[in-house]
């Protein structure tokens, strides 16, 4: 086996797998596992290409600072390579980025600057405008600008495209891609136009992005919003050469996330949200064919960056992307159902230290205290503050020393107005079905349920 001497040597040459357990119609569907790159995504190729080219042209000096705007994966690739080469890195990212990506970036030594994801190009808080302004203000900084950097598509023209062609013996009828910066589409098109001009390019676009409109009508209007990370835009990236695409599929967040979850369950491949978009579009394309075709798409990045989001049932429910059957009672408002094993609880003899650890681990502020399956109290952060009072030794006290025993119980058949009376007193409602504990309802749970009703 080959021994490598730098993690950068592991970038590229990713495996290709044929999918057999999903409905691909008459077609053969292949998935290139770009999540096997060392930084976990296809953007490792781009990051290496852009840094190497900046060094070659003298735009990036030893010990310099790189600045970039990114929805995540380009940033991870840049952080990986910058750490290996000794560069400082500042990344401006929209605030919808998953926590896992942010933690990963910071662990690699990058400085992460969060900005708004609800504004469009031209607004000073828009992540690309923000990064460009920051680079102009910081002496010696280099704005790597993946959206206009020709070394971005160069990475795919020189590595990804010939790899695919070799892996499939030159027999590729269609390639399904998404567009973020546009480098993947632009680079692949350039290579295949020369070596396999019959190969068709199909766009997978998040619903709300303007790119599918441009493909279908040659113009676009204002963008909507979407939760998928890394692809979809509110403008046409010049590197994409979108005019070379004649077919596009719009994929909703629900379709993208559901497809990515299904890929894990059926094929055992843990891929990210953009991969769900690409795969959903590829399956639609394959199922629409009347003759067999060989179709390729990408697992753009690893799903381990989205475990707190699209692979988290509670987050999916909070976003209205998966729903339970409605019972028509207060149980419809419970976000974390006890009968589903989702409620985080405490026992009367647990220590206050244990309670605090659970609050921090699960990012919650109160726990019901259960004894023999019944709620005997509630403990929240204020109870901990009041009973510990700065004395660290009191963390060893049992929950019974600090919990609130005056619990507001409601039967699930109580009217919604009963919740408001409890919330007015700053409390949470404990919902029972007769004597069986179902879960808690907080003000946030009600607001989320109302919002999801509106979206449906």
Per-residue pLDDT, averaged over 297-303, amounts to 96
Predicted confidence (pLDDT) per residue in 220-232, tens digit? 999 999 999 889 9
Task: Give the confidence band of 277 by pLDDT, cuts at 50, 70, 90.
Answer: very high
Percent of the chain scored above 90 by pLDDT? 82
Rounding to the nearest 10 degrees, give the CA dihedral for residues 83, 85, 90, 93: -70
- The yes-or-no answer on residue 43 being catalytic is yes
Closest by CA position to 160, among listed 251, 245, 45, 301:
45
Per-residue pLDDT, averaged over 296-311, amounts to 93
pTM of the model: 0.86
402 vs 448, higher pLDDT: 402
Predicted confidence (pLDDT) per residue in 102-112, tens digit? 899 999 999 99
Does 127 score more than 60 pLDDT? yes
Q: Which of 43, 85, 305, 412 is catalytic?
A: 43
Name the token pair of 410. 């409601």
Least confident of 76-90, 321-335, 399-413: 321-335
Top-confidence range, 67-81, 148-162, 421-435 = 148-162
What is the predicted pLDDT for the residue at 27?
98
Task: Give the confidence band of 95 by pLDDT, cuts at 50, 70, 90.
Answer: confident
Predicted confidence (pLDDT) per residue in 74-90, tens digit? 999 999 999 999 999 99
What is the predicted pLDDT for the residue at 98?
75
Does 456 score more than 80 pLDDT? no
Does 416 score more than 70 pLDDT? yes
Task: Give the confidence band of 14 by pLDDT, cuts at 50, 70, 90.
Answer: very high
Per-residue pLDDT, averaged over 264-272, amounts to 97
Does 65 score more than 90 pLDDT? yes
Query: What average pLDDT does the chain have?
Result: 94
Closest by CA position to 170, among listed 203, 201, 192, 200:
192
Cβ(23)–Cβ(263) below 8 Å:
no
Residue 269 to residue 244: CA distance in whole angstroms? 30
What is the predicted pLDDT for the residue at 426?
87
Residue 456 to residue 451: CA distance in whole angstroms? 9
314 vs 348, higher pLDDT: 348
Does 119 score more than 90 pLDDT? no
Task: Give the confidence band of 188 by pLDDT, cuts at 50, 70, 90.
Answer: very high
Predicted confidence (pLDDT) per residue in 370-385, tens digit? 999 899 999 999 999 9
Does 200 score more than 70 pLDDT? yes
What is the predicted pLDDT for the residue at 455?
62
Task: Give the confidence band of 314 by pLDDT, cuts at 50, 70, 90.
Answer: confident
Does 326 score more than 90 pLDDT? no
What is the predicted pLDDT for the residue at 78?
97
CA 164-168-170 angle, to 5 degrees, is: 85
Cβ(125)–Cβ(115) below 8 Å:
yes
């Amino acid at each position: 086996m080959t021994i490598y001497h730098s993690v950068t040597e592991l970038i590229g040459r990713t495996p290709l797998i044929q999918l057999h357990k999903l409905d691909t119609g008459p077609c053969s569907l292949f998935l290139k596992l770009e999540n096997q790159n060392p930084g976990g995504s296809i953007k490792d190729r781009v990051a290496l290409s852009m840094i190497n080219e900046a060094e070659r042209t003298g735009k990036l000096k030893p010990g310099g600072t790189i600045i970039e705007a990114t929805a995540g994966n380009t940033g991870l690739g840049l952080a990986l390579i910058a750490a290996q080469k000794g560069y400082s890195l500042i990344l401006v990212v929209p605030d919808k980025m998953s926590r896992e990506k942010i933690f990963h970036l910071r662990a690699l030594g990058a400085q992460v600057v969060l900005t708004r994801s609800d504004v469009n190009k031209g607004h000073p808080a828009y992540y690309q405008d923000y990064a460009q302004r920051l680079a102009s203000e910081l002496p010696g900084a280099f704005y790597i600008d993946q959206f206009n950097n020709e070394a971005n598509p160069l990475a795919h023209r020189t590595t990804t495209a010939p790899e695919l062609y070799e892996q499939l013996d030159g027999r590729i009828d269609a390639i399904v891609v998404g567009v973020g910066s546009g480098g993947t589409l632009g680079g692949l098109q350039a290579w295949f136009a020369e070596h396999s001009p019959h190969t068709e390019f199909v766009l997978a676009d998040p619903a709300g992005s303007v790119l599918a409109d441009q493909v279908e009508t040659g113009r676009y209007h204002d963008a909507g919003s979407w939760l998928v990370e890394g692809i979809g835009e509110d403008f046409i990236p010049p590197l994409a050469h979108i005019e070379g695409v004649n077919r596009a599929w719009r994929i909703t967040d629900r379709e993208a996330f559901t497809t990515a979850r299904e890929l894990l369950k059926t094929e055992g491949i843990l891929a990210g949200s953009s991969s769900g978009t690409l795969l959903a579009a590829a399956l639609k394309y394959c199922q629409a064919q009347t003759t067999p075709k060989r179709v390729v798409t990408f697992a753009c990045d690893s799903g381990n960056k989205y475990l707190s989001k699209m692979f988290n049932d509670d987050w999916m429910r909070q976003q209205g992307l998966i729903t339970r059957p409605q019972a028509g009672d207060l149980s419809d408002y419970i976000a974390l159902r006890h009968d589903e094993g989702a409620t985080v609880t405490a026992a009367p003899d647990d220590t206050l230290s244990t309670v605090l650890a659970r609050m921090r681990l699960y990012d919650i502020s109160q726990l019901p205290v259960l004894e023999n399956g019944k709620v005997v109290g509630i403990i929240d952060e204020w109870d901990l503050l009041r009973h510990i009072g700065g004395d660290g030794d009191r963390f060893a006290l049992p929950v019974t020393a600090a919990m609130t025993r005056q619990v507001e119980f409601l039967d699930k058949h109580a009217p919604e107005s009963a919740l408001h009376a409890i919330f007015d007193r700053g409390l949470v409602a404990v919902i029972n079905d007769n004597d069986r504990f179902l879960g808690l309802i907080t003000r946030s749970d009600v607001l989320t349920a109302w919002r999801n009703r509106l979206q449906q």
